[in-house]
Amino acid sequence: MYCIVLISFWLLISQQCYGQVLWPAAESRSNTFNSTYGSLDEEQARSLMRSANLSEAQQQAVLVAINFERSNWAGSSTQLDAFYQDVPSTATVEAGTPIKIENYTNTTLYTIPPGVALSRMLFTTETINGTVIPASAIVLWPWLPRRFANISGLPVVGWGHGLSGWSGECGPSHIRNIWYAYGAPFTLALQGYVVVAPDYAGLGVDHDAEGNFIPHQAFAGPAAGNDLIYSVQAAQNAWSSLSKEFIIMGHSQGGGAAWAAAEKLAKKPVEGYLGTVSGSPLTSFPATVNLVLDQPVPLGAGLARLSTGISSIFPSFQWSDWLSDEGIRLTQVLQWLQGCQSVALELIQSPNLVREGWNATWYLSAFEDLTRVGRKEFAGPMLVLEGTADAMIPAVLTSAAANETCSTWPKSQLQYTLLEGVTHVSVLYAGQQIWLNWIADRFSGIDAPTECVQEMVSPALEKQAYQAEVGYTLQYAFYPYEVA
């Protein structure tokens, strides 16, 4: 532990003890698959997949997905990066405390926009059970921060990402485009906001100072909501130039996390909180199971994802409570490979992953009681965005959560905006003007409506004329003609 005072080119760092500040780049960037990173042994991986009865074609597809994910790492494996590995003790530290700061992160390892700087941070947060643990985050710094007459300091938005995976390798701070790119975090930074973007606990940093494994509590909105609140507080403590005022925003899993954070802030207010933006929020995993995951393949994939972390909430839970022998084998392969979303899409797509009678157990209803958002008082105002063509989290689920909340709390300052013909991730792009204006209004001190508001927004042209999905991946440019 070192006591450090640094002066950056844009701000004065608070004089506090955080740990080592600047780590050397883990690796130089590469335009090929990062297949030498980590501890993957291809023959061992194939042997494990063969034991799980994957065909040669399936094995090859999984290996390609692994290499694709590794080619999008920012540097090397988190298991080789001292920033994630050397974790200071959190035994006597309260949640919301920065414990390690890397002020100048090597931006050439990322595909972030020009005019944006990047820092990494370790901070303390709480699990859904209330245990204080370490987590990782990144901070995006705009070249020209926005200024608002009624606040002092640089305006802060806490960003909550959608589902990226289950292992340490799946933290957005470890991914070149930080997972969402221009969907929100890059756009916010280019609009002049300081973006504090946590990896949810268990992603990025996956162990504490004593070496205890930290599982990611997937789909547990209140847990990720804690990460959002405490990462913002930690950043404000680490960098004195940040405003005390802040907005929380998230999408999908992060949309549910942002909503859950607003509910927590109603019970435990934090000075400076101005409101929440919740995009395509996951409000209820069981409701999503009933409506979206009611076919064998998506049901098995969903339960396998949830199973990787639910035992940290309910210690008596066993994978065999939900998963078949095949489901257990494939989930074990997913964990051993440290696979994220791309690997999961190739690996856990069998129709035979679910154990018969899985829904007779009490775990799903107990998980619902702990994690469902909506119908509760929240600290407003809150903007909820949803697309009518969202197949991942259908509008009927978000509408139900919004309607139930407004029925119970009619003066709760909830603005529910439906975007006609818009899909899941695309709601951030189609609705960009809506949420950017809403955020600017909150920082400008403009009052939101004092009661629930619902609206439908339609496109200028026929809805089928528009690009429906994000159809690209940001990659490095290695030659002048690629950026001409």
Q: What is the pLDDT of residues 250-267, one digit of tens each?
A: 999 999 999 999 999 999
Which whole number is the average pLDDT over 67-77?
Answer: 90
What percent of the chain is predicted at pLDDT more than 70? 92
DSSP summary character for residue 470: -
Tokens of 274: 């101005």
Residues 6+ apart with CB under 8 A from 9: none
How far, in Å, are 65, 180, 441 from residue 338 at the CA level? 12, 20, 42
Give the rounded distance of the alpha carbon of 218 from its chain centre: 10
Domain ranges of the chain: 17-29+74-284+372-465, 42-72+287-370
The pLDDT tens digits of the residues spanning 109-159 come to 999 999 999 999 999 999 999 999 999 999 999 999 999 999 999 999 999
How far, in Å, are 9, 71, 142, 433 from residue 187 at the CA level? 22, 24, 10, 11
**Cis check: omega of the bond before 381, within 30 degrees of 0:** yes
**pLDDT band at residue 33 using 50, 70 and 90 as cut-offs:** low
b (16+ CB within 10 A) / e for 438-447: bbbbbbeeee
Mean pLDDT of the chain: 90
DSSP summary character for residue 137: E
* Contact call for residues 159 and 439 (beta carbons, < 8 A): no
Class of domain 17-29+74-284+372-465: alpha beta
Specify the pLDDT at position 6: 30
End-to-end CA distance of the chain: 46
Of 197-201, 302-306, 367-371, which range is least confident? 302-306
The pLDDT tens digits of the residues spanning 165-222 come to 999 999 999 999 999 999 999 999 999 999 999 999 999 999 999 999 999 999 999 9
Neighbours of 180 (CB within 10 A): 25
* Contact call for residues 439 and 448 (beta carbons, < 8 A): no
Output Rg (C-alpha) for the chain, integer angstroms. Answer: 22
**pLDDT band at residue 12 using 50, 70 and 90 as cut-offs:** very low
Residues 6+ apart with CB under 8 A from 362: none
b (16+ CB within 10 A) / e for 426-435: bbbbbbbebb
Tokens of 96: 């919301």
Neighbours of 396 (CB within 10 A): 13
d(CA 348, CA 327): 8
Three-state DSSP state, 251:
strand
Which whole number is the average pLDDT over 24-44?
Answer: 57
